[in-house]
Every structure is written in C-alpha cells, then in structure tokens.
Amino acid sequence: MNTNFNFEVLKSKIEFAVKTCFKENIQKYGSDICSFALISDDGAMTVVPFTNIKTHLKKMQAENPEQRDYYEFEPAEWFTSNGANEAFNAICKMVSLEIDNEELDFEYFRNTLFASCVEVLEKLRTEGFFQKELGENLLVQFNISDTDESKDNLIHWTKRLNDSTYAKRYQDYIAQQ
C-alpha cells in the first residue's frame, strides 16, 4: 500500500459538501424531503449526493405499485442529485486523481473511501444535523452504484445511519432482492 491520501481531509470535505447540499435542497424543497444518500461507484472514483422528495416518491410508487420499496430505497431513482455541485466535483476530482496512483492499494482505498462516507453521514445523523434542518426524521443511506457489494454491508450501513424502523424495512427490501 502506497498512498499519502489524507482521509481526514476527505471526510472534512464530504461533511462540508453534505451540509451545503442538504441546506440548498431544504431551501428548494423544504419539508417535502424524505431521503438523503451519498453514492459512490465500484471504481471508488465518485461521491455524489442524492435527495428524494415525498411528492416524487409517491408519484413513482403510484405508477409502479409493485416497486414501492425499490423507489424508496434505491437512490438512483430519487428526485435529484443536485446540491453543492462544486464541492462534490472537487471531491470526485480528489478521489479520481488518487485512483490514478499506480502504487495504490485499490481495495484499501475503496474500503476506506466507503467507510469515510458512512462515518460522515453517521456523525451528522448522531449530531442531529438532518433532523434539525428538516424538522423530522428521514432515510439516510450510503450506497454504491453498479456493485456486487455484499448485502450484509449495505444492511449494516443502513442500520448505522437510521432508526430501527427504516433499518428493518431496508433489510426486508434487500432480502427480497
């Protein structure tokens, strides 16, 4: 493993970006927000926010009632990935530059990137950031697009980031996949 990548700096940047994004979306959508997620990819080259709103969720679920849980728990189907675009673009550039390091221990980097995203979201949830800004509880997730990540990891992350009701519903959803 040969990396000088500073994950503490990355976590600080992610926290700033998440707070900025969430506040921007509160300004736009207010109490219609029902979910927030960070998404990366199997190549560990991105960190992107996704926000869902109740009206979008209800519309998608009404159009596809057999896919209710899918539209609730799959951030790629959520309403928007906008917010703090400059901050998230800088994060993506930072991680993608490290991926180009020929001496990089990719598995270590990937796993630490994912753990860093979860840690930041968990810190914000524990501090009550989302609930204070929104005024109510919401689903918070970390997910990976186009992945073979273990279901156990996805469930574990969701349990860390949510109350038992969301965690149980997500676990039931994943078990059906």
Q: Please enumerate in sequence order all residues whose Cβ is within 8 A of that of 27, keeping only pairs 6 or more positions apart, or say none.
A: none
Question: pTM for this one?
Answer: 0.95
Distance (Å, rounded) from C-alpha 57 to C-alpha 35?
10
pLDDT of residue 3: 63
Three-state SS at 56: helix
Query: Does residue 175 carry a pLDDT above 70?
Result: yes
Give ∠ CA 135-122-137 in degrees, rounded to 5: 20
Q: Which residue has the higher pLDDT, 85 or 176?
A: 85
Work out the end-to-end distance of the chain between its first and last CA atoms, rounded to an integer number of angstroms.
35
Helix, strand, coil distribution of the chain in percent, nearest 5:
65, 15, 25
Q: What is the mean pLDDT of the chain?
A: 94
pLDDT of residue 2: 54
Share of the chain above pLDDT 90, in %: 89
